[in-house]
Structure 1
Amino acid sequence: MHDLDDIDRKIISALQSDGRLSILALSEIVSLSASPCARRVRLLEEAGVISGYVAVVDQAKVGLPISVFASIKLERQREEELDRFSQAVCRWPEVVDCFLMTGQRDYLLRVVVKDLEAYERFLKDKLTRLDGVASIESSFALGHVKRSNMLPIVADGRRA
């Protein structure tokens, strides 16, 4: 685990808001000169604290307006079944999030598709054909209230 100080936390917070910040702009935000700021960013990347940079895309504007949350129960929760399910899910581009869960269900998936027919095809062609799936419960999102890629990183007891 990387020990984060207040400057690291400010860097992370600023880059979560805008991953395209130049080192110069970032250094001004965190009150550090450019060279030490660049070194800290590189160290955060090497430590895996910053694991990558992405563009956040509006799913509706690219023709994928439907989000479905699928709760999956496996027949058995043995390691080989869990691994088989996880490997399959990682190959399916429709699945944008997958969580191994506690409680009544084993996995929670967020599946993004263009319409109901596309979700039906995903179910029939992929999910229901996977050995070891005991049950699937699907819930369709009616609206999107909040989405954030920003973790609540705090510096000095305040939002960085």
Structure 2
Amino acid sequence: MSLGKEFHSSTMAVLSKEYGYVILTGAASFVMVTHLALNVSNARKKYRVEYPTMYSTDPENGQMFNCIQRAHQNTLEDYPAFLFFLGTSGIYHPRVATGLGMTWVLGRIIYAYGYYTGEPKNRRRGSFASVALLGLVGTAVYAVYEQLGCQFVCRC
């Protein structure tokens, strides 16, 4: 039984041993996100912000709690994209993905601790995390280019 010209064999990407570093980077990111979550939990107790309240309206301590909570929330907003692009770019470029991934993790920690000062502008110290994420996006796009063998032809 023939499947016709549309079916052809393709090569599979084989994960290199170095992909283990990509996996470790993902694990490090989980530890970082968990650390930020624990900081929010501790801040809830300290500033008496009960669940399910997301933000405090307390004029005295609300700013501090909100900064701690927002640092975690903002990290979670980027987290799915980070994990996707880390995992996909690491297939072809595990060293680059690991370097960019660990830069993102470090940047998010610096971002959070800048936010924890109670001055939201101090979060910008970790803005290089966004550059690292863009690097992962670019590396993943390049991996797509390699996976498809440069055949970006639309057959509509």
TM-score, normalising length from structure 2?
0.28
Q: From the two aligned structures, give the one with the greater helix fraction.
A: 2
TM-score (norm. length: structure 1)? 0.28
RCO (CA 8 Å, sep 6+): is it higher in 1 or 2?
1
